[in-house]
Amino acid sequence: MKQIKILSLLSRLIDYPTEQLFAHHQGIAEFIEHDEFLDDEQRNGLLAFVDKRFSGDLLDWQSEYDGLFERGRMLSLLLYEHIHGESRDRGQAMVDLLKQYRAAGLDIGVHELPDYIPLFVEFASTQGAENAKGWLQDVAPILALLAVRLQKRESNYAALFTSLLHISGADIDMHDIALQVKNEKRDDTKKAMDKVWEEEAVTFGGDAVNGGCPTDQNKPSESQRRDQDVPIQFFDASQVKQADGELRS
């Protein structure tokens, strides 16, 4: 069963940057150069991302990462936060997704959130090329939303999400999404964050103390079966625009 190996790399690049990742600059660049699922535009975008991030200081990279993905919710790396927000539906949706992971042989830890994008992408990478594309297509509206918001902030992290969209083959109108987010007010300012976090955060599983924050260990185990495809259809794509708009209003 043919795998889309670049997805595993994209998963690690989207996840929190670590010393272990930082030590493999040359190997990562060579892998991207020879990948068969990328076109020239995506390949060049990823190579530019790698060159900038791996040529700088790791601590600076980590600090910028925290500023992007750990402040505010507009760039949350939790899929269902963009669909369900803080509603109870979010918890049930994660339970359902966790069941599908387990059906395919993936057993994640109690502290891991199943809708964490790096985990989701890493899992998709093990499911065979066609099925992996199907999984990515199911979350394509969220990936596109994040890509556009990152582009708006002039962050080269956008290249990671546009690459995922390219691999998925999803038909997404990026211009339409750009128009929708054009007048969004950033939610990572101190004033905005104080307002958002007045409400108690909803957590999932056994990580209530730490707010359900993911770690760089969110990935499938070596024992996961790689010979069983599990197609999913876990939400209507139209929900993303509607729910995300309600959250930002």
pLDDT at position 225, please?
A: 44
In angstroms, the CA 81 to CA 4 distance is 26
Going from N- to C-terminal start, the domains of the chain cover 5-205+231-244
pLDDT at position 208, please?
A: 34
In angstroms, the CA 137 to CA 155 distance is 23
In angstroms, the CA 187 to CA 72 distance is 5
Give the global pTM: 0.76
Q: Which amino acid is at 171?
A: D
User: Which position has the token pair 């729910």?
Assistant: 243
Q: Which tokens sit at 21?
A: 């990742």
Contact 132, 124 (CB under 8 A): yes
Phi then psi for 78, rounded to 5 degrees? -105, 115
Averaged over successive runs of 10 residues, the pLDDT of the chain (249 residues) comes to: 90 96 94 95 97 96 94 88 70 84 78 88 92 94 95 96 96 91 75 57 39 43 45 43 45
Which ranges of the chain does DSSP label H, i.e. alpha helix?
Answer: 5-14, 19-22, 25-33, 40-55, 58-69, 88-103, 117-124, 129-138, 140-152, 158-168, 174-181, 190-196, 237-248
Handedness of CA 242, 243, 244, 248 (dihedral sign): positive
**DSSP conformation letters of 125-174:** TTS-HHHHHHHHHHTHHHHHHHHHHHHHTT-TTHHHHHHHHHHHT----H
Using only C-alpha atoms, the chain has a radius of gyration, in whole angstroms, of 17
Residues 6+ apart with CB under 8 A from 29: 47, 50, 51, 54
